[in-house]
Structure 1
Amino acid sequence: MSAFEKPQIIVHIQKSLNYTVFDCKWMPCSAKFVTMGNFARGTGVIQLYEIQHGDLKLLREIEKAKPIKCGTFGATSLQQRYLATGDFAGNLHIWNLEAPEYPVYSVKGHKEIINTIDGVGGLGIGEGAPEIVTGSRDGTVKVWDPRQKDDPVANMEPVQGENKRDCWTVAFVFIGPSIINILYFQVCSLEFDRKDISMNKLVATSLEGKFHVFDMRTQHPTKGFASVSEKAHKSTVWQVRHLPQNRELFLTAGGAGGLHLWKYEYPVQRSKKDSEGVEMGVAGSVSLLQNVTLSTQPISSLDWSPDKRGLCICSSFDQMVRVLIITKLNKI
């Protein structure tokens, strides 16, 4: 790819906020997005923004008792577009942003902060019940069905006697009529390339500045999944997000404020037989398409627009939210 053909990462809009932003998510089928975090006074905040005429308009600000760490629209319908959040007190709430005074669903999910959340079964993707998974500092991972009141439908916790491990990231993937949840402890971020297909690829990012791409189609009984790793940043890679319209492209966000755009290339054959005739996967390769430094502080969250190719948002610990445009993605 020539320098002329390379995609460019352009900051379209940036806005300084008066609170720490932990997460941001596009509202599906709209030019709106939400930011979530905490004020210096210790309360939580959700803000709803809309892109209008090249600027951001604040539509709604919702202050809550506890700081909000993470959120997802993944388990809601396109008609409702409810936001599920996890907060510093371990509460799982689901909010109707049109009437946010009280949550439409609320449960004390964990004993400590909910670090991470993901949803599935909503937004018209695949089939099955709406479900939400939460991971917490208390070392547990729980799956919730919002149609049920108090108890999780699945509860994963350390074996008794083992030290609890802080769970930083969880991810759902949809397979046929069932849901599979894969989690990593002490990995910063992970994401399947798509939720509406059989397990294909999984990207996991790490503290030491690397990411690993796993081919999930073939699992060898002893060697596991084939993978390729890349030293992506000079610091922790806090986020990974795949382009919804092309799952071979993904962004990684680093602790030094860098944003990198990558492309995964499949091998000629995705599987082969080992010396004993057992099927094993073959890893592909990754190439860096573009990178840019946006901030001197870590990029805390990142989300592609599901509707507009190349449009994304990110937040960083300098209390900034940025709307980005990545060009020429339809030519890759």
Structure 2
Amino acid sequence: MDPMGLSAGPNILELYQKPVNITTYDTKWIPTSARFVVLGSYARATGCLQIYSLDTENEGVKLNKELEKKAAFKCGTFGASSLRERHLATGNFEGYLQLWDLQRPEKPLMDVKAHTSIVNAIDGAGGQRSGYGPPELVTGGRDGCVRVWDVRQKDAPVAIFEPAEGVKARDCWSVAFGNSFNDEERCVLAGYDNGDVKMFDLRTGTVRAEHNVRNGVCSVEFDRKEIAMNKFVVTCLESAFTVFDARTQHPAKGFSSVTEKVPVSATVWGAKHLPQNREVSMVLGGDGTLMLYKYQYPDQRVVKDKDGVKMGVAGTMNLVNSKNVSTQPISSWDWSPDKEGLAVCGSFDQTVRVVCATRLNTL
């Protein structure tokens, strides 16, 4: 039964459930494999790293390895690692950035104090493709700092963006790489607890754009990292997310945007673009609802203001389907980079789910 009458489009199917004995903060597919990583915290506040594989013969998932570390894990990414090495970068509750070889995970390959407190968010770029800049990680912390790290230089960040002296530090909740379409260009998005969204240009070391969405920013993401900026999404605490058209930046008004109210009264924890189709996103609800959206471009993406200056035009977000899978917030989501529509997600009901969005080719 579909209360929203959306069953004619793509479906959201819950394939497998796996109860876990931890609080799950992040889930990530291991590239070019049928395995995924779960990161979180045991009840005693130590860190848990679990590796699972799809067990199709028994119609479920199989725990391959479980490791306990000193501090709880908050976030992870494979984005700065090559497909051959598949090293996992993590941020933890004690402010450490660590890099792990999952074949030999007893000791981290990189272990640096990145922030004075929790590493809230991490992203990686330049690792899985050649010709798109250096392999880098970006971290955002409760201390309000955003730091960029080259995994080949493991002792100090290569770029730091922090509050000006005398300015109150805002908790940085989310970071993301983008605009990495050659060896020179790269940008970082950062979202903060007061609704600020800042775009840092790594080539110039400056703030390229800033905006306030008037609500705490739970996540930020470009639709693609490795292309010239096209659009990006910002999700918020109070039942809404905003999509910015990043193709054209007006000198006074900045990027055009459209804000979408979701059909549930809950925090929007994240919006994750489908790797095979950047116009399709899964939006994560704080009430345990998954919402599949498609972006529709306007007939004309660029217009001129009264002074003849170009400005962008935002499109619209269309809800394709939704499914409630949990009584608790969906805290993480990762699409499989290899199989379209396959995903893994974690929620605060201590359950990890493998989900499949079907019939995406009808969009």
2: CA distance between counterparts of 1:330 and 1:270?
Answer: 24
Contact 1:32 1:50 in 2 (8 A): yes
2: CA distance between counterparts of 1:193 and 1:296?
Answer: 28
Q: Secondary structure at the match of 2:186?
A: strand
Contact 1:72 1:84 in 2 (8 A): yes
2: CA distance between counterparts of 1:118 and 1:125?
Answer: 18
Query: Within the alignment, does 1:145 sit opposite 2:176 as a pair?
Result: no
Superposition deviation, residue 296 in structure 1:
1.0
| Alpha-carbon RMSD | 1.1
Contact 2:121 2:139 in 1 (8 A): yes
2: CA distance between counterparts of 1:126 and 1:12?
Answer: 37
Partner of 2:342: 311
Superposition deviation, residue 258 in structure 1:
0.9
Query: Within the alignment, does 1:238 sit opposite 2:269 as a pair?
Result: yes
Query: Within the alignment, does 1:76 sit opposite 2:81 as a pair?
Result: yes
Partner of 2:90: 85
Contact 2:6 2:321 in 1 (8 A): no
Q: Residue deviations 1:103-125, cap 9 Å, x none?
A: 11111111101000000001126
Letter aligned with residue 189 of structure 2: I
Letter aligned with residue 142 of structure 1: R
Partner of 1:254: 285
**Uncovered stretches (5+) of structure 1, i.e. residues with no partner:** none
Contact 2:7 2:321 in 1 (8 A): no
Partner of 1:42: 45
Superposition deviation, residue 175 in structure 1:
3.1
**Number of aligned residues:** 331
Partner of 2:135: 130
Alpha-carbon spacing, 1:230–1:100, altered in 2? closer, same or farther (3 Å): same
Letter aligned with residue 277 of structure 1: G
Contact 1:35 1:47 in 2 (8 A): yes
Partner of 1:8: 11
1: CA distance between counterparts of 2:7 and 2:284?
Answer: 24
Contact 1:169 1:183 in 2 (8 A): yes
Q: Secondary structure at the match of 1:168?
A: strand
Contact 1:26 1:33 in 2 (8 A): yes
Contact 2:233 2:243 in 1 (8 A): yes
1:179-328 counterparts in 2 under 5 A? 179-186=186-193, 187-232=217-262, 233-328=264-359
Q: Residue deviations 1:78-136, cap 9 Å, x none?
A: 00000000000000000000000001111111110100000000112652110000000
Letter aligned with residue 144 of structure 1: W
Partner of 2:200: none
Superposition deviation, residue 188 in structure 1:
0.4
2: CA distance between counterparts of 1:121 and 1:275?
Answer: 41
Calculate percent identity across the aligned residue pairs: 54
Contact 2:9 2:362 in 1 (8 A): no
Superposition deviation, residue 149 in structure 1:
2.9
After superposing the two structures, state which structure 1 stretch, 182-191 or 274-283, moved more. 182-191
2: CA distance between counterparts of 1:270 and 1:98?
Answer: 47
Superposition deviation, residue 3 in structure 1:
5.0
Letter aligned with residue 92 of structure 1: L
2: CA distance between counterparts of 1:45 and 1:9?
Answer: 29
Please give the TM-score of this superposition, normalised by the length of structure 2.
0.89
Superposition deviation, residue 156 in structure 1:
1.0
Q: Which of residues 182, 188, 193 is equivalent to 1:176?
A: 182
Letter aligned with residue 30 of structure 1: S
Contact 2:189 2:221 in 1 (8 A): no
Contact 2:189 2:220 in 1 (8 A): no
Contact 1:8 1:328 in 2 (8 A): yes
Q: Secondary structure at the match of 1:307?
A: coil
2: CA distance between counterparts of 1:42 and 1:134?
Answer: 21
Alpha-carbon spacing, 1:247–1:109, altered in 2? closer, same or farther (3 Å): same
Contact 1:125 1:196 in 2 (8 A): no
1: CA distance between counterparts of 2:8 and 2:14?
Answer: 19
Superposition deviation, residue 254 in structure 1:
1.2
2: CA distance between counterparts of 1:101 and 1:140?
Answer: 29
Letter aligned with residue 223 of structure 1: K
